[in-house]
Chain A
Amino acid sequence: MRILKMQSKFLEVFLESLDKFGKLYGPKRKNDVLSYDRLENISELVITDEHPMIPIKKLFHPMQFTMMRFNERGFEPDYSVIEKRVVIGVHPCEIHSLLRLDDVFLREPVDPYYAGLRENTAIIGFSCLPLENHLCISTDTDIVSEGFDLFFVNLKGFYLVWVGSSLGYDMIHEREEFFDENVTHEDIQMYVDWRKKRNKMFKKSFDFDSMPDIMDLSHDSEVWDYFGDKCLSCGQCSMVCPTCNCYNVTDVFDVTNETVGRRNRVWDSCMFVDYSLVAGGHNFRASRADRLRLWYGHKLKTFGVDYGRPGCIGCGRCVDSCPVDINVLTISEALTTEEVPKQ
């Protein structure tokens, strides 16, 4: 992969120039919450180590959107959610999360909404330094080698820029004068030092590699009952988890019309009590313990039969968000020691 060098002072002008490749999106602050959103102006962009509260999945698997419109003549797909975009400021774990979602939505039969949003969206990744709850070193998602068009690593006074696609080349080509092909031995040494320093900054970790086996062995563990008793079934963990992709589908009639309407897709969570409820009243996962085990099965054990690795990408959002401290750290700790956490 080609790696170039860019002085930090050019960053804003360069990013601004990307608007010819699509509408600019990135993390910005709204009511004090960091959130991926449309950037009206590049100055709104917040490049920071903090993750946006809601992960990048919202730009590819929107919280709610219209899949189809129906009338007397039947259903017609509605692709109006798809537009050309450039998302700036995407952390490595977030890029990994999109690769996990690709496994689900792009496998046959391909989901045309996700696929359309993916193929029309450029990803401009940015390195970050670990904050309190970041766990990507445990899940092996701290580095990216695919899934971006450009990736910026922030070193002292300059960026090393990885070019990950032909679209990335086109973007560089626009402002060639900003980029230096001459990456020196010193620059490389600075990068190596940066990685060493960064690797030492992680404050928390867990034994991700052992978890599939431990999950298997713990299927009937009382740990699930303990956490099941605590869980509020609020579904926050699913909303903030970058690899939770479950959705519900609902039909809505247009106001004042009994034949015309929309079929919408909306995020769902396996933490909700009706998640596995079928008509007739049988609930295949009536207990919170069963639902938690499914959730953590996806994150720590398996994520689809052919997908090769569990879903957790180590962003730490479940650690930040769960109001009763159920997260990949407390679950893996409890299962590993078979001890429920002290109050």
Chain B
Amino acid sequence: MSVTETIANPFKPKAARIVRHYDLIEDHRFFQIRLIDMKKAMSFTYNPGQFIMLSIPGVGEAPFSISSTPSRPGILELGVRKVGKLTESLFQKTDNDVVYIRGPYGNGFKLDQMVNKDLIIVAGGLGVIPLRSILYYALDNRDMFKCIFFLYGARSPQEFLFEREFFQIKERKDIDCLYTVDKPDKDWTESVGVVTKLFKNLPKIDPRETTAVVVGPPVMYKFVIDEFLKLKIPKNQIQLSLERRMKCGIGKCGHCAIEHLYTCMDGPVFTYWDTLHFKELI
């Protein structure tokens, strides 16, 4: 028997239905999607920090971070910025429309490193979309972690994603949420300034017993990592997730290569220690 009969084609995407969508902010939309095959929908599992490839026939395919948590199976959640041909086409879709997905791909956050430790989550701008997955995962498995700190910085209150959700979470006693914007308006009651300014509000932590994760625009990493290093968090306990151009998601097309690593297979989550060895990571 030929290989084409014995293996499933890894490039063939499966049909999924948009079950709900709403605008997060201007040009940023939240989508809940579910594989049409119910059995596959319920068995589709992933790690926080993984991504899917989403297709619209005739338009193309691109990687998207999964924003939902595997602790709530059945529905996949995406946060999408309208920024190119594919996302423009996706924004024309509505509830019950069909898109095509395959995955999950990538390694995801290194959960084994986080268990029974304090967890600091630092999000900048759109970086909050993949971090929302680990945030909810940690809250759904609260006993696995010690203290949880969630630091999120946006440019302005108008660009603050998941505002209602995140201010609800802020009410919880089992997590410390610190929010900031660069440019506040008159109704903004939280901190003002870049996300690194929030670090002074953190209580004293035991750095060896802490894992830090950060996702944000490329320019942000250096400044946030400097703060983690000031706290003396070990370099290999600082995790970050990287964006790259990807055409396959499975280490064939070459676009996401960084030296001998493929971001799609060996990443997108790397430790700060990794980035010291591979100069082009960040």
Contacts and interface: CB of A to CB of B under 8 A. Distances in A.
A275 B83 CA distance: 18
Given A116-B2, A279-B83, A294 B57 contact: no
A235 interface: no
Interface stretch (A3-11, A121-129, A191-199, A301-309): A301-309
A76 B9 CA distance: 9
A304 B259 CA distance: 8
Interface stretch (A40-48, A200-208, A245-253, A324-332): A245-253
A246 B255 contact: yes
A1 interface: no
B58 A110 contact: no
7 contacts: A68-B11, A112-B7, A247-B253, A270-B254, A298-B257, A302-B259, A307-B260
A77 interface: yes
Nearest to B98: A74
Interface stretch (A92-100, A101-109, A132-140, A179-187): A101-109
9 A-B pairs closest in CB distance: A246-B254, A302-B260, A279-B84, A70-B57, A109-B10, A115-B3, A77-B9, A279-B83, A280-B83
Contacts of A302: 259-260
Of B14, B250, B254, B279, most A-chain CB atoms within 10 Å:
B254
Interface in A219-240: 219
Interface residues of A, number: 55
Interface of B: 2-4, 7, 9-15, 55, 57-62, 81, 83-84, 86-87, 100, 218, 243-245, 247-248, 250-255, 257, 259-262, 266, 279-280
Nearest to A61: B252
Contacts of B243: 278, 282
A37 B86 CA distance: 37
Contact of A104 (B58, B86, B251, B261): B251
A12 to B, nearest CB: 31
Contact of A251 (B7, B60, B262): B60
Contacts of B255: 246, 268, 275-276
Residue in A109, A251, A277, A305 whose Cβ sees the most chain B Cβ within 10 Å = A109
A252 B60 CA distance: 9
Interface of A: 67-68, 70-71, 74-77, 79, 82, 104-105, 107, 109-112, 115-116, 119-120, 219, 245-253, 258-259, 261, 263, 268, 270, 275-280, 282, 284, 290, 294, 297-298, 301-305, 307
A82 B260 contact: no
Contact of A82 (B4, B87, B253, B261): B4
A303 B260 contact: yes
A290 B250 CA distance: 23
Contacts of B11: 67-68, 77, 263
Q: Is the interface of B mostly helix, strand, loop or mixed?
A: loop
A68 B12 contact: yes
Contact of A119 (B2, B12, B13, B247): B2
Contact of A75 (B2, B55, B260, B280): B55
A67 B7 CA distance: 15
B164 to A, nearest CB: 26
B280 A290 contact: yes
Contacts of B260: 297, 301-305, 307
A250 B81 contact: no
A268 B279 contact: no
Contact of B4 (A68, A116, A248, A251): A116
Contact of B62 (A258, A279, A282, A305): A279
Contacts of A307: 260
B177 to A, nearest CB: 27
A246 B4 contact: no
Contacts of B3: 110, 112, 115-116, 119
Contacts of B245: 275-278, 284
B262 to A, nearest CB: 8
A248 B253 contact: yes
A247 B15 contact: no
B259 A245 contact: no
A276 B280 CA distance: 12
A303 B259 CA distance: 8
B60 A112 contact: no
Contacts of B59: 251
Contacts of A278: 243-245
A259 B57 contact: yes
A220 to B, nearest CB: 8
Nearest to B261: A305
Contacts of A70: 57-58
Contacts of A76: 12
Contacts of B86: 279
A258 B58 contact: yes
Contacts of B248: 249
A102 B190 CA distance: 55
A111 B218 CA distance: 32
B244 A276 contact: yes
A253 B60 CA distance: 11
